[in-house]
Amino acid sequence: MMRAWQVTEWCEPEQMALTEVAIPNPGPGEVRLRNHAAALNFFDILLVQGNYQVRPPFPFTPGAEVAGVVDAVGDGVTGLAVGDRVLAMLSNGGYAEYSIAPAARTFRLPERMTFIQAAAMPIVYQTSIFALKHRGEIRAGEWLLVLAAAGGVGSSAVQLGKAMGAKVIAAVGSESKFPFCHQLGADEVITYGREGWTDEVRRMTGTGANLIYDPVGADYFDQATKCIAPEGRILIIGFAAGRIPTIAANRLLLKNASAVGVYWGGYVEKNPGYLAAAQAELFALYDAGGINPIVTSTAPLADAPVLLRSLANRQVSGKAVLIID
């Protein structure tokens, strides 16, 4: 038996149940992990509430990013063995002592990477490298504006932008997050959502941001389009603020600008070889010191609802990770 958080009806994180369930067995093409760490994401909260685009059948265990040791290997799995230290990307099932992961989404860790760092890497860094490199075609010397830069996905975009040679403006909700963004390597840090912040971006850059990374949406997207540079691109990552925005097409026309959708999950489904190639590039950047997942909040498995509530209240910078003994 193992401990696992379970959702039996749509609810708030505090209404999940920590229960004893049977340890699952891997099927063909799968591995079982003895988890040491599991990262939290904002979409986990939406999943528990029933507000996410995917609704798994009850009961289910949330959690999409884990790191641990391979404990069992299913039929047909090659390249992974019992005892390997790995990270994995799951559909769900991470908030538990054991998880089943597709072997194709499980990767051996660099020697110096800790389990806590590894759990903080998979989805956010995969999303950001896909967004910046593949969809945004970022170029060295360009100005990159990252909204919600202190969050999990935003902080990965700041680090990757710097590693790719961009000049990075980190936009955050309060000045208390400035030191964290400077730690990430941001060249400039500003508060957004206030009067005149887009004018500040234009003053810093001269012509506006060449690339805008927006995981927030709502009014922030509307405002950000006012400080895009000629021939600039705004990357649509998500809608954490709730409202799905629209754009005045004349703003794109007059600046020869582009609004670019970023749907990493859909791309990976149709291009299965991409995931491993991107992860190899991320590990190489990590080994070279170009990126470094930053975890600022940890808690034991039993405190998952508390840590999720901190994440929901925007009290977490970087990543929050459950430590599983």
Query: CATH code at 222?
Result: 3.40.50.720
Of 247, 265, 283, the last residue of a domain is 265
Per-residue confidence band for 325, with pLDDT thresholds at 50, 70 and 90: confident
pLDDT band at 241 (very low <50, low <70, confident <90, very high): confident
Tokens linked to 217: 């949406």
Residues 6+ apart with CB under 8 A from 282: 121, 125, 126, 129, 291
5-14, 48-57, 90-99: segment of lowest average pLDDT: 48-57
- The per-residue pLDDT for 272 is 86
106/97 Cα distance (integer angstroms): 17
Give pLDDT, residue 53. 81
| Residue 213 contacts residue 240 (beta carbons within 8 Å) | no
| Spatial CB neighbours of 120, under 8 Å, sequence gap ≥ 6 | 39, 65, 152, 293, 294, 295, 318, 319, 321
Q: How many domains does the chain have?
A: 2
> Do 128 and 239 lie in a common domain?
yes
Residue with tokens 């289910």: 60
Q: Is residue 284 part of a domain?
A: no
User: pLDDT grade, residue 129 (50/70/90)?
Assistant: very high
pLDDT tens digits, one per residue of 273-282: 999 999 999 9
Residues 145 and 54 in one domain: no
Q: Per the domain annotation, does 278 fall within a domain? A: no
* pLDDT band (50, 70, 90) for residue 221: very high
Same domain, 137 and 110: no
Q: Going by C-beta distance under 8 Å and a sequence separation of 6 or more, which residues neighbour residue 289?
A: none
Nearest C-alpha neighbor of 229 from the set 253, 204, 246, 205: 205
Instruction: Report pTM.
Output: 0.94
Burial of 132 (0-12, 13-18, 19+ CB in 10 A): buried
pLDDT level of residue 239 (50, 70, 90 thresholds): confident
Are 121 and 37 in contact by the 8 Å Cβ rule? The answer is no
Residue 247 has pLDDT above 90, yes or no: no
Q: Is the peptide bond before 59 cis (omega within 30 degrees of 0)?
A: yes
Q: Give the mean model confidence (pLDDT) for residues 196-220.
A: 96
Residue 146: what pLDDT? 98
Task: Give the C-alpha separation, 38 to 120, whole Å.
Answer: 8
Cα 160 to the center of its chain, rounded Å? 12
